[in-house]
Amino acid sequence: MASSLTRDSASNAGYEKTFLGHPRGLANLFMTEMWERYSFYGMRALLVLYLSASVAKGGLGFDTATAVAIYSVYNAMVYLLALPGGWFGDRLWGARKTVAVSGTIIMIGHFMLALPMQVSFFIGLALIAAGSGLLKANISTMVGHLYRDKNDPRRDGGFTIFYMGINLGAFVAPLTIGYVGEKINWHYGFAMAGIGMAFGLAFFFLGFRNLAPESSRVPAPLSDAERAGIIKKALIWLAVAAAAYGVVGLSGSFSIDWVLWPLTILGLVLPAWYLFRVKRDPDLEPVERSRMSAYVWFFVAAAVFWGIYDQTGSTLSLFADNNTSGTLFGFDFPASWFQSLNPLYVMALAPVFAWLWVALARRSKEPSTLVKFTQGLVLIGASFFVMMLAQAASAGGVMVTPLWLCSVYLIQTVGELTLSPVGLSLTTKLAPAKYASQMMGVWFLAVTAGDSVIALLQLLGAPTDTEWWFASQGALAVLAGVAIFMYRRKVQPLMGGVH
């Protein structure tokens, strides 16, 4: 770790110190994000397995459909809450305070999961979803604050280092938390996730002096009238919800479906409403409205992609547990370890793809954004066709080789690297000036929409342990990719010169 004592002024002492040639604060944010992702992915690797495990085995004993629906709704809410998370940072607390509060909420949530009570488990799950949404939108903003010049050549490299922390935490988490949770005690595993978040908070608080002053400021603070209006509306909605659920509870008809159905519908309606609201804004220029029309195509395609991709922690995790041998080359391992494959593949392949796009661009052969989206959708669809074959091979209780899932995760990771970075970049390019900051939250809403569709299918009783489940979604993804490719000459002009 390199260090320089150069300072612009005494008030900025520590801010100019460097970490691998970058502002010292990057080290603190890297460690905070790495440990937060460690807690997030470690808990998620256990979630559906714990929900579906029998009470005799220490689990909650939900049927497969309910377990997958809970997992999908939880994941959808994490990304849905990223949108108000950005609002909290911009209007209420500032990025630094929002991250501190949200990290604390996440930590408390994990420790509530560690308590062997069903009520505390679901309260903890809600806290983690809320905290993760708040944190996700603000910690990346704080990385940007470290580079006072937006044209600083170190900026892209800083974000690359920061995002490596995500994959490093996601890789290690299932190997440790997953093992302890599955092999020793579920609640010990959840407690480990809480300890991980505590480490992240420690690095964050200890590095306060290394963070940029902008991270403490509220860019557009609420006026007193706005604050009073928001509190009034929040209290009204809270009272309505409390009254409704109070009636349901007193009638004795309350079940988990009374939570899953409203949240699933919210996860479908809110993204559609928000896109419609942005697109119909009279303040938009004609070219901006046209670009939003193009963006709807990409948003729907991304929702299809993420709906399939996020099943790595639900249907694929259950397949790993119920239908896959836990032995490879004589080595035994728990089902949750499969969740480490994706971050491992990302760390190995991301530099290759970064080099590939640059090399193709130099030869004027780099695929267009539309073609890259097509490739991502076709690949995610192909991964589920492979899963269809794996499901058929496991018929009659046969435990299939782990290489099936290793192949599926590899195909999905290649698809992710083709679509996800492009989608993030495209969102910034197509975003109307008025919604430049909010559109990153809109991109996350594609995850919400995709996961909510999966939850809806589960609530309607669609079985996940059949070849039909994998074949139908694989076909949908491939058809979506083909549709984008076939209509690319109609979509491209809508993009207003963006390529």
Structure tokens at 137: 């939108």
Q: What local confidence, expressed as pLDDT, does residue 212 receive?
A: 87
Structure tokens at 156: 């892209």
Sign of CA dihedral 361, 365, 371, 372: negative
CB 60 within 8 A of CB 50: yes
pTM over 0.85: yes
423-446 confidence digits (pLDDT tens): 877 887 888 877 766 777 788 899
Q: What local confidence, expressed as pLDDT, does residue 150 receive?
A: 64
The mean pLDDT of the chain is 89
Give the whole-angstrom CA distance, residue 267 versus residue 271.
7
With residue 18 as reference, give the H or E element that holds it: strand 18-19
CB 179 within 8 A of CB 46: no
Give the whole-angstrom CA distance, residue 201 versus residue 31.
9
Q: What local confidence, expressed as pLDDT, does residue 206 receive?
A: 93
10-residue mean pLDDT series, the chain (499 residues): 36 53 88 96 97 92 95 95 85 91 97 95 96 88 81 75 89 97 96 97 92 86 90 92 89 89 95 90 88 90 95 96 89 93 94 86 85 93 97 93 96 93 80 76 91 96 93 95 86 74
CB 18 within 8 A of CB 24: yes
